[in-house]
Amino acid sequence: MKFRYWILSLLFVCGLSNIVATAQNTNFPKREFRAAWIQTVNGQFKGVPTAVVQQKLIAQLNSLQAAHFNAIIFQVRPEADALYLSNIEPWSRFLSGVQGQAPNPYWDPMQFMIDECHKRGMEFHAWINPYRVKTSLTNQLAPSHLYNTHPEYFVTYGNQVFFDPALPESRNFIISVIKDVVSRYDIDGIHMDDYFYPYPISGQPFNDDASFAKYGGGFKNRGDWRRSNVDVLIRKIHETVRELKPWVKFGVSPFGIYRNQHSDPLGSETNGLQNYDDLYADVLTWARKEWIDYNIPQIYWPIGHPAADYETLVRWWAKNSQNRPLFIGQSVDNTISYKDPKNPSINQLHRKMQLERSFQTIEGCCQWPASDVTDNKGGYRDSLINNYFKYPSLVPVFDFMDHKAPKKVRRLKALWTEDGYILFWTAPKAATEMDKAQFYVIYRFAKGEEHDTSDPSHIVTVTPNTFYKLPYEDGTKTYYYVVTATDRIHNESAVSKKKINL
């Protein structure tokens, strides 16, 4: 998903932005989207025994939880296939090595990840690629694959195969996949990355002449027609998700440049491939028309890049968020591999985090890839923990989806059990799914401290459980424990308090 940035952008030259940032508190925020992408298309799990894959994923999640991440974006549909049990599409070759072959011993990677993320108080977003079918023509499709029964739905372009985005049949099939995933799995989000119409190959037009002749009658410009095709899919996905489960988010992670100024005066001062003109992804329209719930542009370049300067792009997107939650897609490698222009003794992480947090319209970030964080590449994870993610943080409230907080927890009490000293509570009453508590936030305050729940340094943990094991020592120190409930959109309830001697 990511490697094309350097190949494409190095062909161009750009200037610097003069947009002024809006200042905000850059200390440790109580609410911030802190996500990481876990990809499967790189084959890291292909043919690996089930137990080994599960151990690796658990280790990654433990590492990310300890670094105070609160969301995981996990790739479940890389090539019109499934890393989950599906009656619509075959098992992914990125799991067993052979498309259509179930894992042995059997397991459902998506269900496994949902369970493990929720255990840790983390959101799970199901990452799909809508159109891609083959990353190479040599890849073998399972006999049950749709391509074998309806080859007319697909277009070969270069060395790859894609759904034809113009066809109603393509859209209907993709929507059926979305319905299946959202209906059967307790996910927190549907996520699409930067692949819409395929990345252009020089000298090779995308062959949709027949589709344009059949469906393009209302358009004089083929680019407008292609954008309209993608618009229809995006709108339909959003409508489908809302209708099925109104608490599930639908977000996109587009290529980092929307348009260059030489194409549009309102574009960024960059010179690279463009979402709007080259991938036919009109991301700003999707946000403006409320067809997406969040946007994570992939701004993977370093500060000072000649074609796509990180700072220029962050400022541009911050100014053009279109009143939808905006997070920044960060490349770990392209952050640690380049020096801070103002302080060559350090890498660019500090300046990137400070810049990101200087805008009220930017509410967090997502790290590419998760493995670079958990491997602590270049000391990246250590730096996050020590300097930026020092304390836990709650996911920002998407108040346009729901702004009503759950009721507070009931019957808060501490009891001795055979497992130790345990703080128990009862879930708040709820009339609807949207009112139910999804997670609980536990705060601890020493005797004499103000019970300020806006300070994340007092957050002990975020948990789906209605109990917490207390760190009892000798019973001579007095603490106040505060427990709140958060719903699926992370609205937080009023507090319940308990004085406890530990």
Overall size of the chain counted in residues: 502
pLDDT score of 308 more than 70: yes
pLDDT score of 22 more than 60: no
The pLDDT tens digits for 245-303 are: 999 999 999 999 999 999 999 999 999 999 999 999 999 999 999 999 999 999 999 99
Q: How many helices (H) and strands (E) does the chain have?
A: 14, 20
Percent of the chain with pLDDT over 70: 95
67 and 373 Cβ atoms separated by less than 8 Å: yes
The pLDDT tens digits for 398-415 are: 999 999 999 999 999 999
Clarify whether residues 230 and 108 are in a common domain.
Answer: yes
The pLDDT tens digits for 35-73 are: 999 999 988 888 899 999 999 999 999 999 999 999 999
The contacts of residue 18 (CB under 8 Å, 6+ apart) are none
Query: Of 338, 355, 388, which one is at a domain's C-terminal end?
Result: 388
Clarify whether residues 293 and 337 are in a common domain.
Answer: yes
The C-alpha atoms of residue 274 and residue 259 are separated, in whole angstroms, by 5
Q: What CATH number should be reported for the domain holding residue 473? A: 2.60.40.10
Question: Given this model, what pLDDT does residue 344 score?
Answer: 95
Clarify whether residues 320 and 428 are in a common domain.
Answer: no
Within-domain flag for 430: yes
Within-domain flag for 393: no
Clarify whether residues 375 and 418 are in a common domain.
Answer: no
Task: Give the DSSP per-residue string, 431-479.
Answer: SSGGGS--EEEEEEEETT----TT-GGGEEEEESSSEEE---SSS--EE
> E strands along 287-438, which residues?
294-295, 326-331, 339-340, 343-347, 362-368, 410-417, 420-426
The pLDDT tens digits for 373-402 are: 999 999 999 999 999 999 999 999 999 999
Per-chain mean pLDDT for the chain: 94
Clarify whether residues 261 and 376 are in a common domain.
Answer: yes
Q: Which of 38-47, 173-182, 344-353, 363-372 has the lowest mean pLDDT?
A: 38-47
pLDDT score of 346 more than 70: yes
Which residue in the block uniquely carries the two structure tokens 């990654």? Answer: 60
Give the residue numbers spanning the domain of 39: 4-388
Clarify whether residues 245 and 286 are in a common domain.
Answer: yes
Within-domain flag for 37: yes
Question: Given this model, what pLDDT does residue 8 score?
Answer: 41
pLDDT score of 7 more than 90: no
Clarify whether residues 383 and 416 are in a common domain.
Answer: no
Region 443-462 average pLDDT:
97
pLDDT score of 5 more than 70: no
Clarify whether residues 104 and 178 are in a common domain.
Answer: yes
The pLDDT tens digits for 197-224 are: 999 999 999 999 999 999 999 899 999 9
pTM: 0.94
Region 313-330 average pLDDT:
98
Clarify whether residues 324 and 414 are in a common domain.
Answer: no
Question: Given this model, what pLDDT does residue 26 score?
Answer: 52
Q: Which of 7-21, 123-137, 335-349, 466-480 has the lowest mean pLDDT?
A: 7-21
Clarify whether residues 383 and 433 are in a common domain.
Answer: no
